[in-house]
A and B are shown apart, each in its own frame.
Chain A
Amino acid sequence: KQEVTQIPAALSVPEGENLVLNCSFTDSAIYNLQWFRQDPGKGLTSLLLIQSSQREQTSGRLNASLDKSSGRSTLYIAASQPGDSATYLCAVREGSGNTGKLIFGQGTTLQVKP
């Protein structure tokens, strides 16, 4: 059974710092991995999607990497800002079938202090 783990559960950093969020998964047979952002009381916003054949994806100050063989993904946030404060979730889409089901980690709650 696929399990997704995110460490740390919470992170507090000063504004301007570069930071890395970690995501690990137990079964490397995935279709893709997606990073989401969730603001308090809100829904999920898709940030980046990495296909299983890719190693990384970039969007603005965000860079996500994928190492399938080791079952790991990282989300790198450059020059963090208070507006980046949110919970970040990673989710893997399993490789079996084409149902699109996602398995989520429990998230990392980030606080960026001014």
Chain B
Amino acid sequence: DAGITQSPRHKVTETGTPVTLRCHQTENHRYMYWYRQDPGHGLRLIHYSYGVKDTDKGEVSDGYSVSRSKTEDFLLTLESATSSQTSVYFCAITSGPSGGARETQYFGPGTRLLVL
């Protein structure tokens, strides 16, 4: 599992409340990613990080922000949760020989978020 944990694993919240999801890795990987998985859409990239305090937007970044103050932690924040953000959220890291083509992506167990 490449030492990836996500917390919480399940969360129910109300529309308009802020929510923060945490991804923690223990193996000092440089690249970390947040995806969401929805029926009919598959997995889509929200944000990613290429180092401490270095982040960039993915395909579906609206309504989300991220922070990475330490190598091991990558936080995803929904500033004001909406029902459309009900989803399963996966964190991932890239591992393997540097240089791109042989790097494999490993995923955390996921966080199920329900916004009422």
* Interface of chain B, main secondary structure: strand
Within 9-53 of B, Cβ neighbours of A (below 8 Å) are at 31, 33, 40-45, 48, 50
Is A32 interfacial (CB 8 A cutoff)? yes
Interface residues of B, CB < 8 Å — how many?
A: 26
A77 within 8 A of B: no
Which residues of B in the span 97-116 have a Cβ within 8 Å of any Cβ on A? 100-110
Chain A residues positioned under 8 Å from B44 (CB to CB): 104
Which A residues fall within an 8 A CB radius of B? 31-32, 34, 36, 42-46, 49, 51-53, 89, 91, 93, 98-102, 104-107
21 A-B contacts, Cβ less than 8 Å apart?
Answer: A31-B100, A32-B103, A36-B107, A42-B109, A43-B90, A43-B108, A43-B110, A46-B105, A49-B102, A51-B102, A91-B43, A93-B105, A99-B48, A99-B56, A100-B100, A100-B103, A101-B45, A101-B48, A101-B58, A102-B92, A106-B41
